[in-house]
Amino acid sequence: MTERKTIATSAAPQAIGPYAQAICVQGPANLLFTSGQVALDPETGALITGDVRAQTLRVMRNLQSVLEAGSSSFGQVVKATIFLKDMGDFQAVNEVYGSFFEADNVPARSTVEVSRLPKDVDVEIEMVAVSREG
């Protein structure tokens, strides 16, 4: 039987709408689905100012906290989706994003340019990972 568990941590920004930080689907394969993370500081709730590299670093740290709260890690991510306000930022985002993964253990990924993101940020990232919970 498959069960659904909501994952929440104060080490990442709290949800600012009707969504969870992550959902873990427990069954034959425990899958953790994160909500998209933006460059919000979890302690202050303020947006990180600066270029897209600084924003991406905060996003990845937020995702790391959510993954850990869901008994997972970047090494267990099987799919990532990156949303960019400007595809011209692809290389900079890719460099920061890639630094969180081992070269021989990267997930499948899609990157799309969108016209606008929540709070007018430049980057948002969501992930699907295998969870050790179960």
What pLDDT does 5 receive?
83
What pLDDT does 105 receive?
86
What pLDDT does 125 receive?
98
What pLDDT does 1 receive?
57
How many domains does the chain contain in total?
A: 1
What pLDDT does 52 receive?
97
What pLDDT does 108 receive?
87
Helix/strand/coil (H, E, C) string of 101-126?
Answer: CCCCCCCEEEEEECCCCHHHCCEEEE
What pLDDT does 87 receive?
97
What is the bridge-based pairing of β-strands 77-84 and 108-113? parallel
What pLDDT does 17 receive?
66
Q: Which domain holds residue 90?
A: 3-130
CATH at residue 12: 3.30.1330.40
What pLDDT does 121 receive?
95
One pLDDT digit (tens) per residue for the chain, 134 residues: 567 788 889 999 887 667 788 888 877 778 999 999 999 999 999 999 889 999 999 999 999 999 999 999 999 999 999 999 999 999 999 999 999 999 888 988 999 999 999 999 999 999 999 998 75
> In this structure, which long-range contacts are made by residues 87-90, counting pairs with CB atoms below 8 Å and at least 24 apart in sequence?
87/111, 87/113, 89/52, 89/122, 89/123
What gap in Å lies between CA 22 and CA 78, rounded to an integer? 15
